[in-house]
């Protein structure tokens, strides 16, 4: 359709005939995201609040369907780029979030870390040096005051504010570590997302939410015991990018549930279906969270964000 035809079609949203209005909406949805700028223009020109609300709902529907498709395509393509996956999660709440700016910010942190970390350093010293860069120079820290805010699941906001939940902080940390060539990966612990340094038979763990505290397997054993769970491999071994993005979506859904925004929580849970692989594997159920300065955070809530 030409631009004029699209504008003419959008003008019919004002039509009092409900059948015509529904037909117009269906046609606009079929045209996809390219019609959004025209819808925004009509919203600005309209003085009818009902029409404005209808346009807002249409734009959201178009953006949501596009996001669902992009997440599905990201998974089908191998889910290789974790930052792209996390950025897609961001676009549910912030459609204008800029992937290029996210990558540029991460590159700047990487260059600083590269100055402090040498390949011949002991792994513990490499992690301590990376901790210095992230927590002393860049001053990243746990967001304990607004722990359940949806903003905590937004990577671009965590980079802007240097505050985040365990998962977003871990994504930043492991991205920089991997850019440096360090074998650092995510670990799907219940209640708290952590990292592991694993190379051949050498392995230890990193609690990024507690400023990069180094942990042993015995510490993980004790934590799992405290939760009255049986130890399984998923609590100790690296997880995939797909697992991380699914966990980010789950955290976001919990945030909306806690804010009593049931419709948004339902939409985000449907996005999890878009990145669920054919095996149907699921991440561990989050059990609870209490923000404190101990090695691990645990609490009494049925749902947590990590």
Instruction: Quote the CA–CA distance of 258 and 153 in Å, as a whole number.
Output: 14
- Chain centroid offset of residue 157 CA: 11
Measured from the Cβ of residue 81, the count of other Cβ atoms closer than 10 Å reads 15
Residue 56: the pLDDT is: 86
Across 43-64, b (16+ Cβ under 10 Å) vs e yields: beebeeeebeebbeebbeebeb
- Burial (CB < 10 A; 0-12, 13-18, 19+), residue 13, is buried
> Alpha helices of the chain — where are they, by DSSP H?
3-11, 18-31, 36-45, 49-76, 82-93, 99-116, 123-131, 155-161, 166-179, 217-226, 241-258, 262-274
Tokens of 124: 């513990």
CB 31 within 8 A of CB 1: yes
Instruction: Quote the CA–CA distance of 54 and 10 in Å, as a whole number.
Output: 11
Measured from the Cβ of residue 240, the count of other Cβ atoms closer than 10 Å reads 16
Residue 248: the pLDDT is: 96
pLDDT in tens, the chain (306 residues): 787 788 877 777 776 677 777 787 778 888 778 888 888 887 787 777 877 888 888 888 999 999 999 999 999 999 999 999 999 999 999 999 999 999 999 999 999 999 999 999 999 999 999 999 999 999 999 988 777 889 989 999 999 999 999 999 999 999 999 999 999 999 999 999 999 999 998 999 999 999 999 999 999 999 999 999 999 999 999 999 999 999 999 999 999 999 999 999 999 999 999 998 655 444 444 433 433 333 444 333 334 456
**Of 176, 180, 206, the residue nearest 192 (C-alpha):** 206
- Burial (CB < 10 A; 0-12, 13-18, 19+), residue 300, is exposed
Going from N- to C-terminal start, the domains of the chain cover 3-76, 82-274
Region 82-274: CATH code:
3.10.620
**Strand-pair partners of 186:** 195
Residue 296: the pLDDT is: 47
Residue 300: the pLDDT is: 31
């Amino acid at each position: 359709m030409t631009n004029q035809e699209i504008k003419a079609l959008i003008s019919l949203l004002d039509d009092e005939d409900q059948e015509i209005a529904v037909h117009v909406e269906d046609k606009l949805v079929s045209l996809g995201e390219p019609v959004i700028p025209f819808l925004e223009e009509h919203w600005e020109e309209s003085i009818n609040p009902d029409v404005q609300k209808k346009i807002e709902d249409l734009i959201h529907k178009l953006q949501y369907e596009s996001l669902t498709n992009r997440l599905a395509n990201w998974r089908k393509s191998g889910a290789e780029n974790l930052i792209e996956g996390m950025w897609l999660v961001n676009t549910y709440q912030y459609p204008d979030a800029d992937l290029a700016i996210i990558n540029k910010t991460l590159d700047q942190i990487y260059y600083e870390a590269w100055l402090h970390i040498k390949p011949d350093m002991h792994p513990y010293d490499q992690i301590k040096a990376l901790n210095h860069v992230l927590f002393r120079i860049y001053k990243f820290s746990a967001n304990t005051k607004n722990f359940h805010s949806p903003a905590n699941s937004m990577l671009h906001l965590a980079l802007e504010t240097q505050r985040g939940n365990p998962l977003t902080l871990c994504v930043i940390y492991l991205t920089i570590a991997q850019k440096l060539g360090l074998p650092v990966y995510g670990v799907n612990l219940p209640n708290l997302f952590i990292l592991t340094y694993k190379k051949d038979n050498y392995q230890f763990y990193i609690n990024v939410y507690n400023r990069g505290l180094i942990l042993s397997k015995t510490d993980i054993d004790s934590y799992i015991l405290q939760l009255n769970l049986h130890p399984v491999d998923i609590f100790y071994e690296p997880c995939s990018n797909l697992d991380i993005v699914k966990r980010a979506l789950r955290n976001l859904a919990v945030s909306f549930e806690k804010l009593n925004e049931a419709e948004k929580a339902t939409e985000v849970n449907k996005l999890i279906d878009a990145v669920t692989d054919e095996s149907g594997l699921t991440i561990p159920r989050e059990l609870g969270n209490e923000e404190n300065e101990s090695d691990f955070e645990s609490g009494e809530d049925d749902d947590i964000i990590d």
